[in-house]
């Protein structure tokens, strides 16, 4: 990887270490801190920053294992950030094509902008030891460390999928492809594909996503045909199933519950422009503004409500809906391949809290559905507690709720459809379609 020389180069490593510090020590999400770090860099370096920080987040347990072997004792609080710089160095040496010389010298040079000049010698020594001892070939005999997942999540996946946890863990480490959803109000999928052909952009299509396509190579999506005109949106193939499964019909009232940033709201509006109304609600005002931006970019309209889905009395006008999409807040374990910071931001105890919140929301929202109406429950989780077990428990306590027999259920005792990460190029996702009698 060729890089510009000088001060700028040092700042790039320092910026990557800062992002890692903010995520791993301060609990910020990559979405919050990466754009800040990227803003003064050119496009190539922006991509590099994401590639490197995501790479470290993917391989963190192994990098920490090497750090424990090579560092006598943890660094003091005021230079803790240097541990992240060293792990970035390990990552470059073990997983990237950057030359060993550049990896070492650039990490050493990054100590100054991190206010840790005194650690230069240490960083140099640890990285040189890593090379001399050929640590990159030194892999522990420990599936959890090699899986790249935190212990708690590794254990949960092992319990949930005793027979197929290995391919699931592997798929969670593979970078996700870019999926587009063609905005049918502007272009048909075929028309848009012809534009991609004319621009020599290679893609694939799948039957399950009639409005979708997968780009064969990563790219800057703002350079794709019709970005400014709103001819497409970026949305994973699993998320694209939601509006299709909701299957809205003309003149129906639709509620998109927990809707921000509005990817599925826009898709619902594109699939059936003749619905009577679509209400998109979310608890987070700043995220609700992102729904507004997405609706405007794609040329759609919906009514937006800021409210708590578990307390509909505060915001619902009493008119029931024909169909409800409930895209519940969840662990997001199905999209770790796309957002590897998630696994370090979540804790095991968060899962119980989320399961309780999901149950509270589904119970509170069910009365908003008309008799004969359809609710699609969705999560981007692969943990049974949030999915099949959640829905089984709901069905048990709700006499007027039943599974839609036309919807593909995994098995009689496993309601709904669990999509695993990487399956047909999709993120991990869960859907259950429920009917109200």
Nearest distance from C-beta of residue 213 to ligand SAM, angstroms: 18
Based on the shown chain and the rule CB under 6 A, indicate whether residue 258 belongs to the binding site for ligand SAM. yes
> Is 226 labeled as ligand-binding?
no
CA distances from 351 to 3, 10, 64, 88, 382 (A): 42, 39, 25, 30, 12
**Per rule CB under 6 A, count of chain residues that contact ligand SAM:** 19
Q: Candidates 40-48, 152-160, 201-209, 257-265 — which segment interacts with ligand SAM by CB under 6 A?
A: 257-265
Angle between helix 151-160 and helix 165-172 axes, rounded to 10 deg = 140
Q: Is the previous residue joined to 261 through a cis bond, with omega within 30 degrees of 0?
A: yes
Cα first-last separation, the chain: 61
Nearest distance from C-beta of residue 84 to ligand SAM, angstroms: 29
> Is 261 labeled as ligand-binding?
yes
Based on the shown chain and the rule CB under 6 A, indicate whether residue 46 belongs to the binding site for ligand SAM. no
> Can you read off the two tokens belonging to residue 340?
């590897």
Looking at residues 365 to 394 of the shown chain, list those that interact with ligand SAM (rule: CB under 6 A): 380
**Closer CB to ligand SAM, residue 20 or residue 243?**
243
**Closer CB to ligand SAM, residue 167 or residue 307?**
307
C-alpha to C-alpha distance for 251 and 276, rounded to whole angstroms: 4
> Is 260 labeled as ligand-binding?
yes
Active site residues: 380
**Closer CB to ligand SAM, residue 82 or residue 258?**
258
Based on the shown chain and the rule CB under 6 A, indicate whether residue 270 belongs to the binding site for ligand SAM. no
Would you call 373 helix, strand, or coil by DSSP?
Answer: strand
> Is 190 labeled as ligand-binding?
no
C-alpha to C-alpha distance for 230 and 225, rounded to whole angstroms: 9
CA distances from 58 to 20, 240, 291, 302 (A): 12, 26, 30, 38
C-alpha to C-alpha distance for 365 and 421, rounded to whole angstroms: 28
- What is the biggest distance separating any 2 CA atoms in the chain, rounded to whole angstroms? 71
> Is 327 labeled as ligand-binding?
yes
**Closer CB to ligand SAM, residue 314 or residue 412?**
314
Please name the residue ranges forming H helices in 189-240: 189-198
Based on the shown chain and the rule CB under 6 A, indicate whether residue 245 belongs to the binding site for ligand SAM. no
> Is 416 labeled as ligand-binding?
no
C-alpha to C-alpha distance for 250 and 276, rounded to whole angstroms: 7
Based on the shown chain and the rule CB under 6 A, indicate whether residue 254 belongs to the binding site for ligand SAM. no
Nearest distance from C-beta of residue 431 to ligand SAM, angstroms: 13
E strand or H helix that includes residue 125: helix 120-132
> Is 207 labeled as ligand-binding?
no
Draw the binding track, 273-312, toward ligand SAM (x: CB under 6 A; -: no contact).
Answer: ---------xxx--x--------------------xxx--
Looking at residues 312 to 371 of the shown chain, list those that interact with ligand SAM (rule: CB under 6 A): 327, 329, 361
> Is 107 labeled as ligand-binding?
no
Nearest to 181 by CA among 79, 294, 94, 84: 294
Based on the shown chain and the rule CB under 6 A, indicate whether residue 212 belongs to the binding site for ligand SAM. no
Based on the shown chain and the rule CB under 6 A, indicate whether residue 156 belongs to the binding site for ligand SAM. no
Nearest distance from C-beta of residue 236 to ligand SAM, angstroms: 10
Nearest distance from C-beta of residue 334 to ligand SAM, angstroms: 10
> Can you read off the two tokens belonging to residue 127?
């990285």
CA distances from 4 to 9, 91, 109, 216 (A): 6, 20, 14, 29
Based on the shown chain and the rule CB under 6 A, indicate whether residue 264 belongs to the binding site for ligand SAM. yes
Phi, psi torsion values for 328, nearest 5 degrees: -65, 145
Q: Candidates 116-124, 207-215, 260-268, 312-320 — which segment interacts with ligand SAM by CB under 6 A?
A: 260-268
| Gyration radius from the chain CA atoms | 24
**Closer CB to ligand SAM, residue 112 or residue 234?**
234
Where does this chain bind ligand SAM (CB under 6 A)? 239, 258-264, 282-284, 287, 308-310, 327, 329, 361, 380
Instruction: Enumerate the known binding-site residues for S-adenosyl-L-methionine.
Output: 258-264, 282, 308, 327
């Amino acid at each position: 990887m060729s890089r510009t020389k000088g001060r700028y180069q040092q700042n790039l490593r320092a910026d990557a270490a800062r992002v890692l510090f903010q995520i791993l020590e301060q609990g910020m999400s990559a979405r919050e801190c990466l754009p800040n770090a990227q803003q003064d860099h050119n496009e190539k370096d922006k991509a590099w920053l994401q590639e490197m920080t995501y790479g470290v987040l993917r391989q963190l347990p192994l990098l920490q294992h090497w750090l424990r072997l090579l560092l006598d004792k943890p660094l003091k609080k005021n230079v803790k950030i240097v541990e992240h710089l060293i792990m970035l160095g390990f990552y470059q040496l073990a997983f990237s094509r950057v030359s060993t010389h550049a990896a070492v010298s650039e990490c050493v040079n990054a100590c100054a902008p991190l206010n840790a000049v005194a650690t230069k010698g240490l960083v140099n020594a640890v990285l040189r030891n890593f090379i001399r001892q050929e640590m990159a070939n030194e892999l522990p005999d420990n599936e959890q460390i090699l899986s790249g997942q935190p212990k708690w999540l590794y254990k949960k996946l092992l319990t949930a999928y005793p027979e197929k946890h290995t391919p699931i863990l592997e798929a969670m480490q593979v970078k996700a492809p870019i999926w587009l959803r063609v905005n049918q109000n502007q272009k048909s999928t075929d028309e848009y594909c012809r534009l991609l052909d004319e621009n020599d952009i290679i893609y694939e299509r799948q039957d399950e996503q009639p409005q979708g396509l997968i780009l064969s190579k990563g790219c800057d999506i703002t350079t794709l045909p019709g970005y400014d005109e709103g001819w497409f949106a970026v949305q994973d193939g699993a998320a694209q199933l939601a509006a299709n499964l909701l299957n809205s019909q003309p003149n129906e009232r639709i509620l998109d519950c927990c809707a921000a940033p509005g990817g599925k709201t826009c898709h619902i509006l594109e699939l059936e422009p003749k619905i009577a109304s679509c209400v998109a609600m979310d608890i987070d005002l700043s995220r609700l503004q992102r729904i507004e931006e997405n609706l405007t970019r794609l040329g759609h309209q919906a009514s937006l409500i800021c409210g708590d889905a578990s307390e509909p009395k505060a915001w619902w006008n009493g008119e029931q809906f024909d169909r409800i999409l409930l895209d519940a807040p969840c662990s997001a374990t199905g999209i770790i391949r796309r957002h590897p910071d998630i696994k370090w931001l979540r804790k095991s105890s968060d899962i119980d809290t989320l399961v309780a919140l999901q149950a509270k929301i589904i119970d509170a929202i069910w009365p908003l559905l008309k008799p004969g109406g359809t609710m699609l429950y969705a999560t981007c989780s692969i943990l049974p507690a949030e999915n099949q077990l959640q829905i089984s428990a709901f069905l048990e306590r709700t006499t007027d709720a039943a599974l839609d027999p036309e919807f593909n259920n995994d098995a009689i005792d496993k309601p709904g459809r669990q999509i695993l990460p990487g399956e047909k190029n999709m993120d991990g996702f869960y859907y259950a379609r429920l009917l109200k009698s």
